[in-house]
Amino acid sequence: MTLDTPLTELKGVGPAVAAKFAQLGLATISDLIDYYPRRYDDYSAVTPIAQLKPGAVTIEAVIKQAVGRYVRRGMHITEAVASDDSGSVRLVWFNQPYRAAALKTNQPYYISGQFELSHQHLQIMNPSTELVSEFPINTARIIPIYRETKGLNSRQIRAALKQALSVIRTIPETLPTWIIDEQKLLSRAEALMTMHFPESAERLTEARRRLGFEEVFQLSLASLMNKLEIAGEQAPPVKFEETVAKDFVKHLPFRPTDAQRKVVWQIYQDMQRTQPMNRLVEGDVGSGKTVVAAMAALMVLHHGHQVALMAPTEILARQHAATIYSLLAPLGYGDSVGLLVGSLPAAQKKRAHAAITSGDIRFIVGTHALIQDAVDLQNLELIIIDEQHRFGVDQRKSLMAKAGHMPHVLNLTATPIPRSLALTLYGELDISILDEKPAGRQTIKTEISSPNSRKQLYAKIDEELEAGRQLYVVCPLVAESASLEAEAAEKTYETLRKGAFKHRRVGLLHGQMKSDAKQHVMQQFVAHELDVLVATTVIEVGVDVPNASIMLIENADRFGLSQLHQLRGRIGRGEHQSTCYLMMSDSSAPTRRLRAMERITDGFRLAELDLELRGPGAIYGTMQHGALDLRVAKLTDTKLIATARSSAQKFIDSKENLLQYKQLSTHVSRLRAVTNLN
């Protein structure tokens, strides 16, 4: 048996069971070994029957008798009595008619299950039973529980893994010996053996540390190698002109924050070098990222070159184009700003292509339309990518290839990223943080609401609408779902326009609408031709509507904190006091997360809390298309991350030959491909 052996060669894995394994993505022994448990149940302590207490228990006992019978409505019950030297206990199984015949009397068994009160009797419910042996897999130990599918349970997965023990024990090492010795890590074979068949909680902790270290080490090595490769490229330097920068600031209708000044200076220093800039600017909602981007672009425009800004949606691209035009027009660069999006009429698109080629348009703002073959960007020196995690790697690379050389790259994100997450995923990027809000930006009030108070809340909101304000209603789903009890945008739209807000102008916006329809609805809302906009999270990254001062988020408990904060940032952009109402799914007590939303307005603090409570997926649901495949490592373990990154740097500095570590090389190559932002 080898790692490549098909699962069909295992005992008990016929075509039907193999099909169930395939549903979990498992076809070979290698796939099976790499399928980590999602949790563990601890049945390792064997307790005399006389000392049993309610909870998870394991006994070593002889089963005296087992009887099965059918009761009401076809339910089957199997009952047995297990005894040891200290006493006896009743065992009960539901709908397992094979149990009675399978159990052997007068044979010692390990029996593990929940000891609990049922029908006035303390008994062990639906226990696992296993003849006493030196290597039990379902009882008398810490039991791994796997993600299952109908027709395939954890017991079957454990049975298959037991047959693969000889392969697990001979798994080849993937890390250099010096790293294993230096960090006092288990071997890969020991760690995998322990993940599936842990001897103790302490040993399981060591296994998790080993595999988690390797995950972060691989990511760190990939990002450091990308950074090294970038260092070998050359970009045309952009000379800093102080008078140009001062002229920009002089024409601003507000004073830039200290954070904006600091970040712009970092960008200017980067662009003066021949090494291509590769910087990520993180800025909380409303921190002024567009101003920073425009100021960076101005220096490039001043020297006669082109800038391209790629946004994930047409709505956002149009907003950026309008904002950038207003910032650059007073300096004489307004005519240089052009828009290129998919919905432009063919004739207009053709004119835009010609103007880009001739250089009449030197600041091109667009969507994926920028990477079409007809777009000629040979004079491109700066690429700005907004919400870059929403683009695939190939799309970003296609835009960079347009320049014909390595341009400077500025990535923007409004999603605050905890430092541990940023270091792990974006190790090849220099990171700047906009942690101040411009003067005059108001604090948004946040209130939790119960469905029981919906009528009163609608009346309160209607008073604001009567005063001329506008309302966002955000729903987690587009249409009703049979599997999720959540408010759907389409249903909510119909309910509101026929009910509580029938006297108001109500619109609907969601991602399944055609682009021009979405654009039309959003323009109606901007022009205050709509009072209420019912939408999905498509508005998470959207246009500024200063008059929209109220937001109602339905089923708010279903969202991550970072996403709630992003949504909340759509309001609070005008002169009026803004309020975000978080409507719970039911009338139970608010969760810790929702309470945090009420009191915390700092997106970075919320992102850290989200990472702690829900993991990285809550911050970036589709982050880097699977690059952050951390199944064991926890990004809250800053010590592990620092250690793994340090070892990766040491690996680079010592000029180790990656190719001599075959599996490590394969993983790192894949990670370099999906995380490389150049």
Question: Which residue type occupies 31?
Answer: D
459: phi then psi, degrees, rounded to nearest 5: -65, -40
- Residue 452 and residue 587 in contact, taking contact as beta carbons nearer than 8 Å: yes
Question: Which residue type occupies 142?
Answer: I
Residue 630 lies in a domain: no
pLDDT bucket at 618, cuts 50 / 70 / 90: low
CATH code of the domain containing 319: 3.40.50.300
Rounded distance between C-alpha atoms, residue 649 and residue 220, angstroms:
8
Last residue of a domain, one of 413, 434, 469: 413
Q: Which two tokens stand for residue 511?
A: 């991602």
DSSP output for 391-402: S-HHHHHHHHHT
Rounded distance between C-alpha atoms, residue 60 and residue 256, angstroms:
72
- Residue 469 and residue 547 in contact, taking contact as beta carbons nearer than 8 Å: yes
Q: Return the H-helix or E-strand segment holding 382.
A: strand 380-386
Question: Which residue type occupies 621?
Answer: G
114-118, 601-605, 621-625: which has the minimum mean pLDDT?
Answer: 621-625
Mapping DSSP to helix (H, G, I), strand (E, B) and coil, where does residue 433 land? strand
458 & 316 share domain: no
Residue 27 lies in a domain: yes
Q: Return the H-helix or E-strand segment holding 489.
A: helix 489-498
Instruction: List pLDDT tens digits, range 410-420.
Output: 988 877 777 66
pLDDT bucket at 538, cuts 50 / 70 / 90: confident
134 & 156 share domain: no
Mapping DSSP to helix (H, G, I), strand (E, B) and coil, where does residue 73 land? helix
395 & 534 share domain: no
10-14, 231-235, 451-455: which has the minimum mean pLDDT?
Answer: 231-235
What was the pLDDT predicted at 362? 94
Residue 12 lies in a domain: yes
Instruction: List pLDDT tens digits, range 174-210.
Output: 999 999 999 999 999 999 999 999 999 999 999 999 9
pLDDT bucket at 340, cuts 50 / 70 / 90: very high
- Residue 597 and residue 394 in contact, taking contact as beta carbons nearer than 8 Å: no
62 & 84 share domain: yes
| Residues found in the chain | 678
Widest CA span of the chain, in angstroms? 95
Q: 678 pLDDT exceeds 60?
A: no
Q: What is the mean pLDDT of residues 105-114?
A: 90
Q: Return the H-helix or E-strand segment holding 242.
A: helix 242-251
Mapping DSSP to helix (H, G, I), strand (E, B) and coil, where does residue 454 land? helix
Instruction: List pLDDT tens digits, range 39-85.
Output: 998 888 899 999 999 998 999 999 988 898 888 777 899 999 999 99
What was the pLDDT predicted at 623? 43
Question: Which residue type occupies 280?
Answer: L
Q: What is the mean pLDDT of residues 359-370?
A: 91
Contacts of 478 (CB under 8 A, 6+ apart): 488, 489, 490, 510, 511, 512, 536
483 & 582 share domain: yes
370 & 476 share domain: no
Q: 439 pLDDT exceeds 80?
A: no
Q: Which two tokens stand for residue 136?
A: 């039990």
Spatial CA neighbour of 424 closest among 636, 625, 613? 636
146 & 136 share domain: no
Residue 620 lies in a domain: no
574: phi then psi, degrees, rounded to nearest 5: -120, -160
Residue predicted with more confidence, 57 or 622:
57
What was the pLDDT predicted at 458? 96
pLDDT bucket at 515, cuts 50 / 70 / 90: confident
Q: What is the mean pLDDT of residues 529-547?
A: 84
Residue 429 lies in a domain: no
Question: Which residue type occupies 46?
Answer: V
Rounded distance between C-alpha atoms, residue 426 and residue 223, angstroms:
7
Rounded distance between C-alpha atoms, residue 521 and residue 377, angstroms:
32
Residue 428 lies in a domain: no
472: phi then psi, degrees, rounded to nearest 5: -100, 135
* Number of folded domains that form the chain: 4
256 & 364 share domain: yes
465 & 385 share domain: no
409 & 523 share domain: no
Instruction: List pLDDT tens digits, range 218-244.
Output: 988 888 887 777 767 788 899 999 999
Last residue of a domain, one of 541, 576, 600: 600
| pLDDT, averaged across the chain | 87
CATH code of the domain containing 90: 2.40.50.140
- Residue 618 and residue 557 in contact, taking contact as beta carbons nearer than 8 Å: no
Domain residue limits at 135: 45-140
- Residue 253 and residue 384 in contact, taking contact as beta carbons nearer than 8 Å: no
Q: What is the mean pLDDT of residues 490-506?
A: 94
Rounded distance between C-alpha atoms, residue 36 and residue 17, angstroms:
19
DSSP output for 523-542: HHHHTTS-SEEEE-GGGSS-
Rounded distance between C-alpha atoms, residue 379 and residue 184, angstroms:
52
Q: Identify each DSSP E strand in 33-97 by its residue range.
A: 39-42, 55-70, 76-84, 87-94
| The pairing of beta strand 55-70 with beta strand 108-118 | antiparallel
366 & 511 share domain: no
pLDDT bucket at 454, cuts 50 / 70 / 90: very high
380 & 465 share domain: no
Residue 579 lies in a domain: yes
Residue 23 lies in a domain: yes
How far, CA to CA in Å, does 224 sit from each of 218, 409, 675? Answer: 10, 17, 11
Last residue of a domain, one of 535, 565, 600: 600
